[in-house]
Structures are given as structure tokens and as C-alpha cells.
Amino acid sequence: MQEENREKRIEEPQEVVNWYVRPNDREVVDCYVQPRPMPVGAAPAQPPAAPKKAGKKGLRIFLIAVGVLLAVIVAAIVVSSLTDGETPSIRGDGSTDGEGGDASSIVDIFRTEKTTIPRMQGEAGVSMTCTAPSGEKLSIQDVYAKVNPSTVLVVAERGDKASIGTGVIMTSDGYIITNAHVISGGKSCWIALDTGYPYDARLVGYDEDQDLAVLKAVDAEDLPVAEFGDSGQCRVGDTAYAIGNPLGVELRGTLTNGIISAINRDVQVEGRVMTLLQTTAALNNGNSGGPLINEYGQVIGINTLKMSGTGSEEEEATVEGLGFALPSSDVCFVVNDLIATGRFRGIPTLGVTVTNSPDNGGQVVVYTVEDGYGAAEAGIQPGDVLLKADGQPLHQINDLMAVRRTHLVDDTMTLTVLRDGRVFDVEVPLYANKG
């Protein structure tokens, strides 16, 4: 199978489709509902009229996920050409000739479904790390040259259906990060490098709530690897770039730019809150799972959502420049747990709140201790000064967070504590965050 893959190359579609079928718009009040794509050839649904509210005008907010919409006509053409080496012709009614089958059968691929992609266990010692930016800022061209080779096309096949997204290469032997919704419901999966070189892929693990998945390219070696930066270093106004495959294969490797427009933005997604980076870099269907990048060419987020429209009671308006990415610092927790256990057990936490107290030279000081977590069990008290974590000096809160990101749930962290003039070490177990 792998040898057959080595003979495949991405081919440009022979026909250009000049229209795009939107997913059904869903009105959102306080939660995000993942939309489903329209059947190919159908007219886009009109958004519902905004409900009238007494005394004020309301807003209609629509959100879409930015990947898995291979059910557009372009994608229906491409799947056959990529897998069978043939490009079917497309008729005016939206159906196809050839082995690609009836394009109208490609429907409802966005809903959350259990994947049956062949799985493999993650290897010991494989982990994602985030580093602070260093060196000189790169030009736009240099950012693209650095990151695009480590950005891949992700195709999850569902029999007569398929989805396309983007992924980021984490290791040279083929561990790849993408969104869980990209591979949702998939029966098989493969990836392609920016050169078009394909690999079969196996599923290491995924978590729908965090919308992250880890894949492993079969028999891969010497792949270009992305550098992951610390999203905790981001500031509003920082330049940001995105690379992905908007609308599928035809526009693969597209670079867009903007700024970080908000940090720690809480977005309600189907009843749960996701804390995300907000960016003005253009994101579209197919960008899901791709990198959000800083000026140093570091991946600081995994693109996952965009806000597509808003309107008043009287009119509908288009919204631009509201994209969202999973911060790399959070991605790190999830990805490393998926590799280690095949599932995400939760973000490890000490169970304390801390502050940089000016009374202690800016040292990290425990402010509160929460019952039911490891710090309380270990005897940590409010007012304790944390000097080190696992032997690493703590000068600011981010230093403590950086050490925590190296741990998984059920690990133990060693804290060096100053209390009443006495310095001692405490072993603190890390439990999953219950919040």
C-alpha cells in the first residue's frame, strides 16, 4: 500500500467550479452549533429571520468550523483524482461521471461521528514542546518558507464521502496534529505533503471536546517539522499568519495574514466553553487543523473556528476577520496525553492560584489553595513562595506554567517552597482540572 502511495501525486482539477455551496446557517444565541454541509447542487439555505425582541435590536451570529467540507463540488472532483488517478467530468446539475460517483451523495459529513480510522499506539518519548520566541523576526516570505513544508493536507475518507482539512507535522517520523472534526466519522485517512507526496495515516488519538487529533503517517521519515511557540507570549496586536487548504485541494498551501486580535477569548461551542486565540488572518473551510503562526515562524495555535456572519433584525451582514485558534500552550497538554494514552484525561492542575507579589521581589506566591487537588493534599498554604518547580527557578507565573505543560494528569511535580524563612521540597500530585 505504501509503495502504491509513493506513486501518487496531487493533480490539479481539470475543471474550475466558480461557486461554492455553503453549509446551512444556524442561528446562535449562546452556543455554537456545528453546521452540516448542503447537498451538492442544492441552493444555499437562507438564514432564518431574526426574532423580534422588545425594546432593542438583536444580533444574529453564525459560526462555521473551518475544515471538513469536501462535499463542495471541487472536493468531489478531487477525491477521485487523488485516489484513483482519474478526474471525472462535472455536469451542470452538480453530479459527476466516472468512478467518482454521484456528487449529491456527499452530504452530512460534518456531524460528529465515531471514527473507525485504523489506530496505533503512540510511542514512548514522543511529545510536543513549546518554546519562547528567539532571534530575529522573519519576513512574510521566510515565514512561509519555514512553515509551509511542515503543513499537510489531511483527507479522511468515509466510503463515498470524504473530508479535507489541514495538519501540522510535529515529528520527523510523521506525528501530525489536526482538528478532531476533520477526521470525525472517517474510515481511512491519508496525508499529503506540500509537494503532493502522500502517506497513509493511522489515528493515535483524538478528543472531540478539545477538537484535537493526532495522526501518524505510515513509514514516514525525515519529514520537515514545525516549531511550536509559546502562545502565552502572544500579545494583542502581534502579527499572525495562517497556512492551510481553504475550500480543499485546489487552493492548498494558501497563506493569509492578520493580527492577534484577542487572547483567552471564551467561545461557547455546543454547550462547552473553549478558550481560544482570536485572529484577523483569513480562515475558511479547509483551514481546520492548520497552523496559526507568529513572526518567528513558530506555530502558536491550531486553527479551528471562524465567525461567518452577523446581522440585525432588518438585514444580514457579512463578518470578516474573526477567526479562532486553539492556543499552542493548551494544544500541548492535549496532544501529549493523546500520544501517551490515546485519550485526553484533562488538563493537569496543581489546584492553586498564584500571583507575582511585589513584596517578594516579584516571586511566585500562592494566593489560594483549592480543596480536592494535589496542592491541598501536599500541604501547600496561601502565602507560600514557590521558588522552583522540578528544579527550574520560578521568576514569574509563566515559568510555573511552562513546567506544568511538561506534565500529564497523574504525574507529580516537585515544588521548592519558602515558608517562614524555611525552604523545603513538596511532591504535588497533578489531577485533572475539574472546572
For residue 367, the domain's CATH number is 2.30.42.10
Q: What is the mean pLDDT of the segment spanning 293-301?
A: 97
Q: What is the mean pLDDT of residues 305-328?
A: 75
User: 202 — alpha (psi -120 to 50), left (phi > 0) or beta?
Assistant: beta
Asked if residue 243 belongs to a domain, the reply is: no
> Is the pLDDT at 73 greater than 80, yes or no?
no
Give how many domains the chain has, as a whole number: 1
CA distance 266 to 270: 13
Question: Out of 188, 288, 308, 328, which one is annotated catalytic?
Answer: 288
CA–CA dist 410, 408 (Å, integer)? 6
Mean pLDDT of 238-264: 93
In this predicted structure, the answer to whether residue 425 has a pLDDT above a threshold of 80 is yes
Tell me the average pLDDT across 141-164: 93
* More confidently predicted of 269 and 301: 301
From 211, 230, 330, 337, active-site residue: 211
Alpha helices for 243-359 (secondary structure H): 328-341
- Mean predicted confidence (pLDDT) in 195-206: 95
Instruction: Tell me the three state secondary structure of residue 30.
Output: coil
The answer to whether residue 428 sits within a structural domain is yes
Please say if the pLDDT value at position 13 is more than 90: no
Q: Within a domain: residue 400?
A: yes
pLDDT band for 272, please (50, 70, 90 cuts).
confident
Cell of 124: 514512548
Domain membership flag for residue 403? yes
pLDDT value at residue 107 = 25
Cβ-based neighbour number of residue 329 at 10 Å? 23
367 is a domain residue: yes
* Residue-level length of the chain: 435
| Higher local confidence (pLDDT), 17 or 378 | 378
Rounded CA gap, 222 and 193, in Å?
Answer: 12
pLDDT of 50 reads: 33
| Residue pair 63/288 in contact by the 8 Å Cβ criterion | no
- Residue 269 pLDDT level (bands cut at 50, 70, 90): confident
Q: How far is CA 191 from the centre of its chain?
A: 16
* Most confident residue range from 36-40, 103-107, 212-216: 212-216
Q: Is residue 37 part of a domain?
A: no
Told to judge if 200 belongs to the known catalytic residues of this protein, a careful annotator would answer no
Confidence of residue 320 (pLDDT cuts 50, 70, 90): confident
Q: What is the per-residue pLDDT across 323-374, written as a single tens digit (0 to 9) for each?
A: 999 999 999 989 999 999 998 887 788 999 888 866 656 688 999 999 999 9
Distances (CA, A) of 314 to 107, 383, 426: 31, 56, 62
pLDDT at 22 over 60: no
Average pLDDT of span 65-84: 33
pLDDT of residue 260: 97
Q: Which of 83-87, 172-176, 392-396 has the lowest mean pLDDT?
A: 83-87
Predicted pLDDT at 274: 85
Q: Is residue 392 part of a domain?
A: yes
**Coil, strand or helix at 262:** strand
Supply the range of the domain harboring residue 400: 348-432
104 a catalytic residue? no
Q: What is the mean pLDDT of residues 375-386?
A: 93
**Per-residue pLDDT at 403:** 86
User: Is 288 labeled as catalytic in the residue annotation?
Assistant: yes
pLDDT exceeds cutoff 90 at 264: no
Options 80, 81, 150, 181, the catalytic residue: 181
Report whether 68 contacts 181 (CB < 8 A): yes
Residue 117, domain member (yes or no): no
